Structures are given as C-alpha cells and as structure tokens.
C-alpha cells in the first residue's frame, strides 16, 4: 500500500489528478461493494462512494501515515460519510489542540512500535490463520458491518456465541499485535 500513501501525498502536495485516479480505480469499486454489503441500495452506495472520494481529495492534507494506513483512512471517511447521511450523529477526528485534551492525553501511552502499515500486515496475516467459523463472523462484523444481533439472526446462532467467538478472535488479534512489540 506504499503506492497508495504516495498517491494521497501527491494529492495533498500538488493536487495530482493522476494519483487521484489511481486511488479511485482501486478504492471506488471496493467502497461501493462494502456499502452495498452494509445494506445500502446501489444508487445510495454510488452516491456515498462518490462523496467519500471527493472528501479524500479535499482532506488529503490531513492524512497522516503515522496514524492510519491509506485503506483505514479512506474506509473511515466513507463510514463517517454514511453515518452523517443516515443519522444526526457526526463523527470527526479528535483535535489534539482541543481544550478537552488539556489534562488528558490525546495519544496512547507508550510508543507504538509498529507502523500502521505493519499493523495492517499483521492483521492480514492473522485473518488467514482464522478457523473458518471465526473468519465468517469476522467477515460479517467487519466487512458486512452487521451488528452482533443481526449476525446471530442470520446464522441462526445464539447471540452469546457470536459475542464470545468474536471476543476471542479479537483477543487473539491483540495478542498478535502486542506479540510483535516484544
């Protein structure tokens, strides 16, 4: 994903349209697919995707590769746009300069020893090791963006089982991530 990081930088630094087209060709069809999986109609998915890609152009200067991988950054822009359109809720990144953070830290304790790209890589490797039954739940929760309740209903599984399997999968993932620090 190094190329994608370079593309976002090129947009931020010199409004590079070719870089934007590269990003668009990779992300736009994937965002539209994930929006449809998440329950949007085809037209609505197209609209949210287009608005998200416009925001990618406009917000390129705010992209910080130390804080998010290009995919995570673009995913959250699209998710936030969808939430903005559906609800009164607004999600915006936290501003470390806000007076709220005067007495509390805006940053996690300790230094993260892996980069965002490494975090994504560890996660990709981890998902490949998941047993099929857990992978299915992870797909439903993280790709199809379903609630635990909806997953339980669709798979005809007790809600408690969905919760505990996902909890275990996420705990193992965190172990993988912290294991990399040791």
Partner 1 sequence: MITHHLSDEFLVEYANGSLPSPESLVVGSHLAICAECRDRVETFETVSAVLLEDGDVEALSPDALDAVLARIDSAAEEDGSGDAAPLIEFDRDTLEVIPPPLRSYLDRSLSDLDWKQTARGIEEASLVREDDVRISLLRIRAGQKVPSHTHRGDEFTLVLSGGYADGDDHYGKGDVSVADSATDHAPVADSDGPCLCLTVRNGPTRLTGPIGRFLNPVMRG
Site for partner 1 in 111-150 (CB under 8 A): 112, 116, 119-120, 123-124, 127, 138-139, 141-143, 145-148, 150
Considering beta carbons, is residue 9 or 163 the nearer one to partner 1? 163
The burial class, CB within 10 Å (0-12 / 13-18 / 19+), for 51 is: middle
Contact between 91 and partner 1 per CB under 8 A: yes
The minimum distance between CB 156 and partner 1, in angstroms, equals 19
Contact between 18 and partner 1 per CB under 8 A: no
The minimum distance between CB 7 and partner 1, in angstroms, equals 14
Q: How many CB atoms lie within 10 A of CB 89?
A: 8
The minimum distance between CB 24 and partner 1, in angstroms, equals 6
Q: Which DSSP symbol is given to 87?
A: S
Size of the site for partner 1 (CB under 8 A): 84
Give dist(CA 27, CA 37) in Å, integer.
Answer: 15
Considering beta carbons, is residue 9 or 138 the nearer one to partner 1? 138
Is residue 80 a contact partner of residue 49, using CB atoms and an 8 Å limit?
A: no
Torsion sign, CA atoms 98, 100, 102, 108 = negative
Is residue 76 a contact partner of residue 59, using CB atoms and an 8 Å limit?
A: no
- The only residue of 10, 82, 152, 165 in contact with partner 1, by rule CB under 8 A: 82
Q: Which DSSP symbol is given to 101?
A: G
The minimum distance between CB 100 and partner 1, in angstroms, equals 6
Contact between 165 and partner 1 per CB under 8 A: no
């Amino acid at each position: 994903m190094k190329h994608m990081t370079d593309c976002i930088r090129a947009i931020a630094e010199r409004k590079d349209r070719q870089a934007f087209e590269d990003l668009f060709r990779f992300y736009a069809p994937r965002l539209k697919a994930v929006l449809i999986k998440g329950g949007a109609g085809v037209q609505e998915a197209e609209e949210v995707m287009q608005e998200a890609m416009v925001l990618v152009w406009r917000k390129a200067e705010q992209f910080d590769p130390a804080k998010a991988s290009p995919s995570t950054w673009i995913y959250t822009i699209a998710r936030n746009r969808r939430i903005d359109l559906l609800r009164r809720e607004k999600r915006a990144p936290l501003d470390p300069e806000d007076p709220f953070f005067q007495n509390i830290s805006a940053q996690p304790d300790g230094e993260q020893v892996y980069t965002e790209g490494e975090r994504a890589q560890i996660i990709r490797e981890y998902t490949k090791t998941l047993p099929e039954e857990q992978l299915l739940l992870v797909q439903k929760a993280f790709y199809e963006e379903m609630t635990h309740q909806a997953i339980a209903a669709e798979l005809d599984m007790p809600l408690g089982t969905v919760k505990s399997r996902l909890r275990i999968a996420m705990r193992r993932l965190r172990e993988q991530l912290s294991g990399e620090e040791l």
